[in-house]
Structure 1
Amino acid sequence: MIAVFAADASAAIEPPVPFTVFAASSLTNVLEEIISDYHNEYHPGLVTLSVAGTGTLARQIEAGAPADVFVSADREWIDYLISKQLIEKSAATLVASNRLVLVTKADRQLTGTLDERLVQLAQTGRIAIGDPEGVPAGRYAKAALQSLQIWTDMEPALVPTDNVRVALSLVLRGEVEGAIVYATDAALVPELAVQAVFLPGLHPPISYWAVVVGNAPWSAFDFVSSLHSARTAGIWTAHGFIAP
């Protein structure tokens, strides 16, 4: 005779455990909405979000910061953590893409092609970009300027910043003439105008990757899976990102 045991299936499932997400500052608004939706699905307070420049966060993770999920603004910093054996090689998931744009204050008038507009700004002042040494947006900007064959001429007029949000604030305060930033960040500041969009072929693909770090709880894995679900695709696109 086969014994049959009745049990509450939910009792065998580990309850969701709070976890911390380290994410690129350019993802602040979209992740706040995704996390709010995630909290509604489970329970409030499950996710703690910490945002900064991607390179800064990667270095913090390398130094032992308590991150359970890392959402990077490029693949390069993911590969860096793989090389340090801090994340699994096959664990990273592509969650969104973006575009690069040139912005100024809304009352500024520029004419001509993209490279001509950039030169105009450089002749009258300075242009803020993410620091190419550690900020993905800066690496994309440098690659684009190199593709346009104006990097050497433009470099003296460039102001490297810790992240895209800082670059935008410099434009708002009038400390620089313009900035090269992500389209999604530019859309958040009505006082600024997009003067040009960089064609995707001018720089490597702007891609955002999510990965679980270390011995994270299962709820962190579930959250990463949710970032590329049909449910969150609408949130990504509503914020101007390109869902994969």
Structure 2
Amino acid sequence: MGFAAALFLGLAPPFGAAQAQPKDLVIFAAASLKNALDEASAAWVKQTGKPAPKISYAASNALARQLEQGAPADLFLSADLDWMDYAASKTLIKPETRVTLLANRIALIAPSDSTATVALAPGVDLSAALAGGKLAMGNVDSVPAGKYGKAALERLGGWDKVKGQVAQADNVRAALLLVSRGEAPLGIVYMTDAAADPKVKVLATFPEDSHPPILYPVAVTRDSTHPDAQGFLTYLRGAGPKAAFEKQGFTVLNKAANAS
């Protein structure tokens, strides 16, 4: 599987699938949330007896653009504040429903059988560990994980040394896949992505002060009229999904919210 093929994971179904079932609760969520949100959604179905939400996973920028183009969704979960701010600036969400739900970290990963060692310290140079290969990242101009990774490498003084070897993916899970399949010797993904794939290992985590805080906001979309939209958001803030999020490595920021 080449780079181009790996970049398309089919994470976001076509608009028509959601439009064909207008009564579904439709959620647009950052790709890095897939494992945790799938588990939380299944628990919600078991708890309430309601139909499973239809969840489209993709990069936050792609989802925000789809909302702007009229794609139907009831909730938007972004992997950074910028794209939720963008949605808010276009009046695509109900601002009174917006909540910062989770926090995350980014890490440098390698295939699980790699013998590479890297210290993410000032002056870091990834060239030796790459050995002529590519550094897999989300798109550094638009995908949140890519933006965070570039910012961290710039802060550590290592970006200029490696920018010519970057393979930019459409979302963070596509970058993870390149490393998992051994097509890239190194990658930068969220800690939660690394935890979700046994074929990769974490070489080092980036210092938290090397990039902006990695925060995940959620909001009900402006055009949503689904009766369960606010209820599912409230559920996500409650005690029920907390274990699913923490198991994947997220930090839950809504610890005071108990409603489910």
TM-score band, normalised by shorter chain: 0.7 to 0.9
Aligned partners of 1:126 and 1:158 also within 8 Å:
yes
| Paired position in structure 1 for 2:98 | 92
| Paired position in structure 2 for 1:76 | 82
Aligned equivalent of 1:224, options 216, 233, 236: 233
Aligned equivalent of 2:220, options 193, 212, 221: 212
CA distance in structure 2 between the partners assigned to 1:151 and 1:33 by the alignment: 36
Q: Following superposition of structure 1 onto structure 2, how do residues 58-137 of structure 1 map, counting pairs within 5 Å?
A: 58-115=64-121, 116=124, 118-137=126-145
Do the aligned partners of residues 112 and 104 (structure 1) sit closer, same or farther apart at CA in structure 2, a change above 3 Å counting?
closer
Structure 1: gaps (5+ residues): 1-16
CA distance in structure 1 between the partners assigned to 2:97 and 2:50 by the alignment: 27
Name the amino acid aligned to 1:87: I
Q: Which has the larger radius of gyration?
A: 1
Name the amino acid aligned to 2:149: A
| Paired position in structure 2 for 1:39 | 45
Do the aligned partners of residues 218 and 173 (structure 1) sit closer, same or farther apart at CA in structure 2, a change above 3 Å counting?
same
SS across alignment from 2:77:
strand
| Paired position in structure 2 for 1:235 | 244
Structure 2: gaps (5+ residues): 1-22, 254-260
Name the amino acid aligned to 1:52: A
Residue correspondences, number: 228
Identity of aligned residues (%): 38
SS across alignment from 2:92:
coil
Aligned partners of 1:18 and 1:219 also within 8 Å:
no
CA RMSD in angstroms comes to: 1.6
Aligned equivalent of 1:168, options 163, 166, 176: 176
Please report how far the alpha carbon of residue 168 of structure 1 lies from its aligned counterpart in structure 2 after TM superposition. 1.5
Name the amino acid aligned to 2:160: T
Please report how far the alpha carbon of residue 172 of structure 1 lies from its aligned counterpart in structure 2 after TM superposition. 2.5
CA distance in structure 2 between the partners assigned to 1:117 and 1:234 by the alignment: 37
Summarize deviations over 1:29-74 as a string: whole Å, max 9, x none: 1111111111112224241111111111110000000011000001
CA distance in structure 1 between the partners assigned to 2:191 and 2:85 by the alignment: 25
Summarize deviations over 1:157-207 as a string: whole Å, max 9, x none: 111101111112111332211100011111122121110011111111111
| Paired position in structure 1 for 2:14 | none
Summarize deviations over 1:86-139 as a string: whole Å, max 9, x none: 123443211111110111112222335225462323443210000022110001
TM-score by length of 2: 0.83
